[in-house]
Every structure is written in structure tokens, then in C-alpha cells.
Amino acid sequence: MISLSALHTFGFNTFAKSVKRVDSLSTLYALAQQNIPNVILGEGSNTVFTEDYYGVIWQNCLSGITFTEDSDFHYITVASGENWHQLVSKCVSLSIGGFENLALIPGTVGAAPIQNIGAYGVEISSFISEVEYFDFQDKTLKTINAYNCQFGYRDSIFKHELRDVAFITKVMFSLPKRYEFVTHYGELSELENPSIDSIYEAVIRVRKNKLPDPHQVGNAGSFFKNPVVPLEVFESIQIQFPDIPHYPISDKYIKIPAAWLIDTLGFKGTIEDGIQCHPQQALVLTNYNNGTGRSLLNFANIIKSAVKAQFGIVLEHEVQLLGQTERIVL
């Protein structure tokens, strides 16, 4: 059995029967002739192995970045195993703007379109032009454009029709040379004369102050999604909680910070059987003191039940939770 403690950032001392490294397309093709993976793992920053895993794991180690440009756009093609934050840092060093709001998000480039990662008012779907993937069904490389990726809030076709079908190999980005900085969200609104560098540095500073370093305290980042609710649901909650923070998605839907819901119920900083609701960011659950997968699931369910009872909102977990042979849905 192979230890998974270093392969997922929550750090539970779990084990797997098989982990295969995919570091080239030839390796990918060869492995695909033998079996199909149950789990495709990048850096394990959004996956939690709650117990020993008996399926087949492939670890994405594909690498390579190319830059081209024309008068209007920077075009970047990135292998899916590249580290996301290192890509952001490289772009900032080259004065290529667009990614700076997404600095310090953990994980690989290949995870970005799956999750449609986002932060501080920016989602990666704004910059993706195409995604290349290996289709396990017919064992060929295919390319899908951004429209057909069906991007939504922390969502994409790779979580639905192409789940367990696609191994993302490359992501193609188009970043306009003329665009407006996005600084209306949170602490970024306090920036004077914002620039690529100042936004990048501010995002890193805020994230380091609010979010635990997974190298020091095991965690998988935001555990729950921010719920998007109908306007009438929000208005009913607002009657009792006039100061509830919120972000209009459309005329009919409102996004509410899950961290506020959890914090309002007093969970921030609390510890249950080795798992802590982080004292600076209630959206993050951490492996505070040798917790277990079972204790994590129990605490997450306690929080979820309390939020539903008080606000009538059902939280969805953002992280991928894995049991012995299959995904877990709370």
C-alpha cells in the first residue's frame, strides 16, 4: 500500500493500492490501454481521502508552458500538471494581467477548468479559450471550447457529462491586453491606483492572513461552496439579519458567503474530534490535531445541519471526498 498523506493537503494518514504518475502523453496512452483510473489527482488540494482507497489513482505530472501574442491578446497554453500559482506568478513577472486576482489558489492548472476556480470577483472561465483532454471512451485527444465547457459557479462539464471520461491534458488561455482591473471585491477595494503587481501582492497578503498554509496545518481550502439562493429566500433571511453580506448574481439570484452563515452560528474556531473550523476563515476546515476522515465528515454534517436549520439553506461541499471505493456526498 502507498501512503497518501503527502498526496492530499488534508494530510490524513490514509493509503492507496495503486498510484501511477502521468508525466507524458505516451505514458497516458500506455496506461489507458491497461485500465481507467478511478481518481485523477493533481496536487490533492481539493481532494480528501477520508480512509484507505482501493481504486486506481493517476497523478497528473504533465508539464510545459508556451506564450504567444498578437496585438490584442496574450495566448498561453499550459500543461495540466503545472502548478497554478506558479503560472500566475510567471504571468505577473511578464506584466501579463488577468490572473492576479487568482494568486495563491492551490492546485494544478488542470483543476482550474474543472472547478472554474475563482476569487475576488474573477473566475478563470473568463480567460479559457479551449481545453484539451484525453477521452477514456475512445482513447483519443479532443478539444472543447469554453462555451461547451458549460462553466458555472465552481462548476463545469468536467463535473458532469465528462466526469470520469476526461483526463485534461492542456488548458488554452486568451488574456486581453486591454482590460479593467477587478478591485470591487473585499480588501481590494481599498487599493489606490491598482496595478497587476499591487493586486497580486494584496491577494497574497490577504490569503496568507486569512487562510492556513496546508504545509503547516492540513486543509483543502474552502470546504463549502458559497450558496446561490433565490431572491425571495435571501429577503426572508435579511429580515432577521439586516447586515447579511451578499452579492447579486442576477435579478433573481443572490450569492451569500458560506463563511458568514457558519460564523454567525458560532462555529469559527471550534474543534470537534481533531477537526477545527478555522478561527480566521470559517469556510475552511482543518486537520487540527490528528483528525480522521470520519471526524471530518461528522463535523461537516453538523455544520451543514445547523445552517439548514437556521437559514433554510443546504450547503454543498466544494472538496472531493473519497471513501474506500467511491466519492462521498454529504
Could you state, in order of their start, the residue ranges of all structural domains in the chain?
A: 2-60, 65-203, 214-328
Pick from 26-40, 48-62, 114-128: least confident: 26-40
Q: Minimal CA–CA distance to 318: which of 306, 305, 307, 304?
A: 304
- Cα–Cα distance for residue pair 321/25, rounded to 1 Å: 28
165 φ/ψ sector (left φ>0, alpha ψ -120 to 50, else beta): alpha
Alpha helix ranges (H) inside the chain: 25-34, 84-93, 111-115, 196-210, 231-240, 258-264, 293-311
Domain 65-203 shares a fold with domain 214-328: no
For 214-328, CATH number? 3.90.78.10
In this prediction the pTM is 0.89
pLDDT band at 210 (very low <50, low <70, confident <90, very high): confident
Burial of residue 201 (CB within 10 Å: 0-12, 13-18, 19+) is: middle
3 is a catalytic site residue: no
Please pick, among 154, 156, 207, 272, the residue that the annotation labels catalytic. Answer: 154
Span 2-60 CATH architecture: 2-Layer Sandwich (3.30)
69 is a catalytic site residue: no
Residues 6 or more apart from 258 whose CB is under 8 A from it?
A: 222, 224, 225, 226, 227, 282, 283, 307, 315
Q: Is residue 57 within 8 Å of residue 39, measured between CB atoms? A: yes
- Cα–Cα distance for residue pair 187/194, rounded to 1 Å: 12
Please pick, among 130, 187, 201, 318, the residue that the annotation labels catalytic. Answer: 318
Span 65-203 CATH architecture: 2-Layer Sandwich (3.30)
Whether residue 38 has pLDDT greater than 90:
no
pLDDT at 102: 98
154 is a catalytic site residue: yes
Whether residue 67 has pLDDT greater than 90:
yes
Report CA dihedral (270, 272, 278, 283) to the nearest 10 degrees: -100
Please pick, among 100, 123, 222, 272, the residue that the annotation labels catalytic. Answer: 222
Q: Is residue 203 within 8 Å of residue 188, measured between CB atoms? A: yes
The pLDDT tens digits for 174-183 are 999 998 999 9
Q: Are strands 65-69 and 53-60 parallel, antiparallel or unpaired?
A: unpaired
